[in-house]
Structure 1
Amino acid sequence: MTTTSTRARFTGRTALVTGAGGGIGRGIALAFAREGANVVVAGRRKEPLAKTVALIEGAGGKALAVTADVTSADDLRTLVRAAVDRFGSLDVAVNNAGVLTGRGRLTADLPEEDWRTMLDINVTGVLLALQAEVAQMRTQPDGGAIVNIASRIGVHSRLRGTTGYAVTKAAVSVLSRGAALDHIADGVRINAVSPGPTATDMSFKPGESETDRADRMRTEVPLGRVSTVEEIAAAVLYLASDDAASVVGTDLVVDGGSTA
């Protein structure tokens, strides 16, 4: 199922999405653009970001690509400044950038380098992004909304060989709740979305075909299929919108019932 919105909840607002060069991040960026937002897309590589911008502008939207490394506080401050300089404000931020390394390695065999990489990007990267975003949003009369992308694996991991990733995504969920309480008085609403198996490359096991994945999902997910990128984006846009004005510090799990 593909979800296409005809609403315009973000007209005149600026949305920033990290990790927007593909997959869920690109889908979120496109969804914000469809609902009228000016979209700033960020990532480490120019080419994928340029494609995301081309898709947005090709549909009549406005977008800006900024290369940034989420492990660099300086890069993230520069990213926020670029968004404000171009569009005048930062109303929404989605911290989506993340990485899964050492997949399939059991806990005792997980290389330290993989562990530290996931901590740096998945946890420290979200913290540094939050700090840069809140610093801007707390100066704005209308504040802002932040959505962090966690994972259903961080809620309840049923996959061997993903302990390091699960730990970092659980940390994103806890960080989101704590930051939400810390900064709601600043007018900044912070929440998280925890996707389950989604129609991206990450949902495939090594060497698995689409048919194999579909067969596996029919047994692993009560809904019987992976979620679409558009369905994850719809959850993010809800939390970022005025429809969720009283939703603070939640982790919205979108996983077809696999953690129910």
Structure 2
Amino acid sequence: MADRLKGKVAIVTGGGSGIGEAICKKFAREGASVVVAGFPEDPVEDVAKEIEKEGGKVLSFTADLSTEDNAKRCVETAVSQFGKLDILINNAGVFPEVNLLQDYSEEAFDYMIKNNVNTAFVMSKAALPELHKTKGNIVSAGSEAGVIGIAQNTPYGGTKGFIHSFMRGLAVEQAQFGVRCNIVGPGPIDTAWTHDSTGPMDSKMVKTMKQATPMGRRGTPEEVANVYLFLASDEASYVTGATYMVDGGITLAKGPVGEEADSDMKKEPKGELELEHSKDGHTSIRK
């Protein structure tokens, strides 16, 4: 265990799989007490047990975090167990459908509003009174889709566009209370969402995605977690209202530039985290 977050208490929503799992394990290794929060259907308990085995301080919290009552309970649980709250990571989100807008289902759209927008709103609202006490910070999951808009992903990009604007507004209004607010914008990351076998993308989309990324590959969940770690730590003390893209350059790219990437750049770095749930997590609509 290192100490970049020593003595800090963090809630990570969507912490049971994908990028959320990596954030939870990275934060625990850096000394934070972590609340792994997420849907009951996700492997939240498994991630908590894995952190505990490594000697980390952790508890799990399973509920629908898009409701105000559950958001308050999550924050109250963290404070009751660990005495305070320093960091809120709004990582939770869903990606249920890829489609042209005229064919996009209202059910999928409503599901995204509920889980991508409502959850960030109610969790931030519930956490702020505690973050005022600790001069803490919020880091929320944006997306390349929320910056530039992506065809066949337009409703998803709209929900992430809300997050980008929402967090910048929070950064300005919450500075008077000593609270920093920032955004991490992942591009194509190696999770269930970006594989045709586990997510809504088809094989053509997966191929095009890698070709359009200047680095010629998906990012790893741990590479994204590294940026969350910086922004959540005191090292980022003069950073607020910022958007850190972790996208391999795809937001800026034009055409199949990934095919020209250096061979070393195409290799995934060897991470230090044991991520058992990077391909878990529900991407389809749950009734």
Query: TM-score, structure 2 length as denominator?
Result: 0.82
Shift of 1:245: 0.4
Residue of structure 2 equivalent to 1:124 = 118
Helix, strand or coil at the partner of 2:43 = helix
Q: Given that residues 204 and 213 in structure 1 are in contact (C-alpha distance below 8 angstroms), is that contact kept between their aligned partners in structure 2?
A: no
Q: Which of 182, 189, 193 is equivalent to 1:191?
A: 182
Residue of structure 1 equivalent to 2:36 = 41
Shift of 1:205: 3.2
1:63 aligns with 2:58: yes
1:53 aligns with 2:48: yes
Residue of structure 2 equivalent to 1:112 = 106
Shift of 1:68: 2.2
Q: Which amino acid aligns with 1:203?
A: T
Question: For the residues of structure 1 that align with 2:205 and 2:46, how far apart are their CA atoms?
Answer: 27
Helix, strand or coil at the partner of 1:25 = helix
Query: TM-score, structure 1 length as denominator?
Result: 0.90
Shift of 1:34: 0.6
Identical amino acids, percent of aligned pairs = 38
Shift of 1:213: 8.6
Residue of structure 2 equivalent to 1:3 = none
Shift of 1:236: 0.5
Q: Given that residues 148 and 172 in structure 1 are in contact (C-alpha distance below 8 angstroms), is that contact kept between their aligned partners in structure 2?
A: yes
Q: Given that residues 19 and 25 in structure 1 are in contact (C-alpha distance below 8 angstroms), is that contact kept between their aligned partners in structure 2?
A: yes
Residue of structure 2 equivalent to 1:11 = 6
Shift of 1:157: 2.9
- Residue correspondences, number: 250
The 4+ residue runs of structure 1 with deviation greater than 2 A are: 205-209, 211-218
Q: Given that residues 17 and 42 in structure 2 are in contact (C-alpha distance below 8 angstroms), is that contact kept between their aligned partners in structure 1?
A: no
How do residues 1-260 of structure 1 correspond to structure 2 at under 5 angstroms? 7-45=2-40, 48-101=43-96, 103-138=97-132, 140=133, 142-158=134-150, 160-205=151-196, 216=208, 218-260=210-252
Q: Which amino acid aligns with 1:146?
A: I
Shift of 1:104: 2.5
Q: Given that residues 194 and 206 in structure 2 are in contact (C-alpha distance below 8 angstroms), is that contact kept between their aligned partners in structure 1?
A: no
Q: Given that residues 100 and 118 in structure 1 are in contact (C-alpha distance below 8 angstroms), is that contact kept between their aligned partners in structure 2?
A: yes
Q: Which amino acid aligns with 2:77?
A: A
Q: Given that residues 67 and 118 in structure 2 are in contact (C-alpha distance below 8 angstroms), is that contact kept between their aligned partners in structure 1?
A: no
* Unmatched runs of 5 consecutive residues or more in structure 2: 253-287
Q: Which amino acid aligns with 2:183?
A: A
Q: More deviation in 103-112 or 83-92?
A: 103-112
Q: Given that residues 214 and 225 in structure 1 are in contact (C-alpha distance below 8 angstroms), is that contact kept between their aligned partners in structure 2?
A: no
Question: For the residues of structure 2 that align with 1:86 and 1:207, how far apart are their CA atoms?
Answer: 35
Question: For the residues of structure 1 that align with 2:55 and 2:223, how far apart are their CA atoms?
Answer: 22
Q: Considering only aligned residues, what root-mean-square deviation do their CA atoms show, in Å?
A: 2.0
Question: For the residues of structure 2 that align with 1:57 and 1:18, how far apart are their CA atoms?
Answer: 18
Shift of 1:116: 1.3
Question: For the residues of structure 2 that align with 1:47 and 1:243, how far apart are their CA atoms?
Answer: 32
Q: Which amino acid aligns with 2:251?
A: T
Question: For the residues of structure 1 that align with 2:60 and 2:85, how far apart are their CA atoms?
Answer: 15
* Unmatched runs of 5 consecutive residues or more in structure 1: 1-5
Shift of 1:216: 4.6
